[in-house]
Amino acid sequence: MFSRNQRRLATAVAAAATAVAVLAGCSGSPAPSSGAEGGGDYAEGEWEVTITSVAADQSVLRPAQEWYMDQVEERTDGAITFNRTTANEICAQADQYACIEDGSAQLLVTVPNYQPSIFVPNSLPEITFGPTNSAAITAAMAELTETNEDVKAFLDAKNLYSVSTWSVGNILVGSNTPLEGPADLEGLTMRTAGTIAAPNFAAAGVVPTQVTADEAYNSFSTGLVSAAAGAMDFVVAWKLGEVLKHWVDTGQGVYSEFAMYWAKDYYDEFPDDIKATLEEVADELNSGAEIEVWKNGYDSADGTHFVGTDEQCEMISSIPNVETLTAWDEETVAEFEELGALVDGETYTNEELWVRNATAAGLTNAEGVLEDYWTLIEKYEAEYDDPALSIDPVTSCIESFNG
């Protein structure tokens, strides 16, 4: 079997013999080549794809996108290469979709709740007090976006082809006074996120302020907020462990997600054999690879190390300012859940609110989509029952921190 370099040498020879131009990163669609009809004989760098992403280098949500790009480059023998921009380099964190609209990027990794009306089908993992098995969530979302016609129609209209959706893990709340239960949330000004989690906090009397991750640290220096809710990433990657001493798992579970999309018009122009390779890589990403690199970290093809949750947990333990990392007990969590989700003075259940939001965003048959999602979650929770896959990293980290 040829090594990657040997394969690239072979394709370089083919490249010298073809008159096909290499795509620029901002091109609208892949150009056909002499290999497009014959299948498999493509020039190295035939498709140069630009990615726009919100995932910071130090984020544990970054390894999945790096794994995907490495695998695509490897398995297409370099026919697809990626222009790997830094986080938020070409489009703002709060408006990543602009890069798909103007054609400056063809691959997108974003947090759906930053632009919920555009990415609402992929926001299903935001339904709090729900599943915390992130392997099951990823697999369920992959099947849903592939098979549910209402979801596909919604994304098609946005020129989006969904590749993967991965959970950010259980939510943590950081503050400078211990929070023992929902009553302690009353009156807090809090950086929140998530289309359901923020209304949960509002129902408990929190004054929620929705700012993006890259704005979170500054929101403390300006006095905008006094507490924060977010994933483990916020303690380390976004440096909130430096300003908040006490962190608690409030029992809401998963509250947000990352999602990866191709610009659909660009994806559709790939030859069938390239599409087959892309589908193969996506299938592996969605059937365990994402969870593995999320937890264990990833060393990319160029030697860059991206941390996982296991390493991030060790980092949390070494932050001098972080004094406690705890979790509310089941009774306290149940008390919190009973408060519901407060929006515009009206209280909803979490499912009701998701359906309301999705319908307002233009998703047809939102209730049916939600029903399909729950069915798939049940299916994949049974399949991914290995604790190495099913236990949330926050739960493991709390045990480690207090061990």
Asked if residue 74 and residue 19 are part of one domain, the reply reads: yes
pLDDT above 90 for 359: yes
How much is the average pLDDT of 319-328?
98
Residue range(s) defining the domain that contains residue 217: 170-255+312-401
The rounded percent of the chain whose pLDDT value lies above 90 is 83
> What are 207's strand-pairing partners?
189
Cβ atoms 20, 34 nearer than 8 A:
yes
* Beta-strand pair 160-167/246-254: unpaired
Residue 1 pLDDT grade (very low, low, confident, very high; cuts 50, 70, 90)? very low
Question: Which of 290, 306, 322 is the endpoint of a domain?
Answer: 306
> What are 53's strand-pairing partners?
109
Q: What own/partner pairs with CB < 8 Å and gap ≥ 24 does 26-32 have?
A: 26/50, 26/103, 26/104, 27/103, 28/103, 28/265, 28/266, 29/265, 29/266, 29/269, 30/266, 30/269, 30/270, 32/271
Q: How many domains does the chain have?
A: 2
Three-class SS state of 248: strand
Q: What is the CATH number of the domain that holds 386?
A: 3.40.190.170
As to burial, measured by CB atoms within 10 angstroms (0-12 exposed, 13-18 middle, 19+ buried), residue 359 is middle
Asked if residue 262 and residue 325 are part of one domain, the reply reads: no
Q: How many CA atoms lie within 13 A of 75 on its CB side?
A: 17
Asked if residue 232 and residue 124 are part of one domain, the reply reads: no
Residue in this structure with the two tokens 């989690």, named with its chain if needed: 197
Asked if residue 81 and residue 189 are part of one domain, the reply reads: no
Asked if residue 115 and residue 41 are part of one domain, the reply reads: yes
Asked if residue 194 and residue 77 are part of one domain, the reply reads: no
Of residues 402 and 8, more confidently modeled: 402
Asked if residue 175 and residue 40 are part of one domain, the reply reads: no
pTM above 0.85, yes or no: yes
User: Which of 243, 208, 238, 236 lies closest to 222, judged by CA?
Assistant: 243
Asked if residue 388 and residue 290 are part of one domain, the reply reads: no
Asked if residue 250 and residue 122 are part of one domain, the reply reads: no
Asked if residue 275 and residue 264 are part of one domain, the reply reads: yes
Of 8-12, 262-266, 373-377, the one with minimum mean pLDDT is 8-12
User: Which of 167, 176, 205 lies closest to 377, judged by CA?
Assistant: 167
Task: Summarize pLDDT for 223-250 with one digit per residue, the tens.
Answer: 888 999 999 999 998 899 999 999 999 9
Task: Summarize pLDDT for 47-92 with one digit per residue, the tens.
Answer: 999 999 999 999 999 999 999 999 999 999 999 999 999 999 999 9
Asked if residue 290 and residue 221 are part of one domain, the reply reads: no
Q: How far apart are CA 308 and CA 329, in angstroms?
A: 27
Question: Which of 291, 306, 321 is the endpoint of a domain?
Answer: 306
Residue 217 pLDDT grade (very low, low, confident, very high; cuts 50, 70, 90)? confident
Q: How far is CA 178 from the centre of its chain?
A: 29
As to burial, measured by CB atoms within 10 angstroms (0-12 exposed, 13-18 middle, 19+ buried), residue 6 is exposed
Asked if residue 283 and residue 155 are part of one domain, the reply reads: yes
Size of the chain, expressed as the number of residues it contains: 403
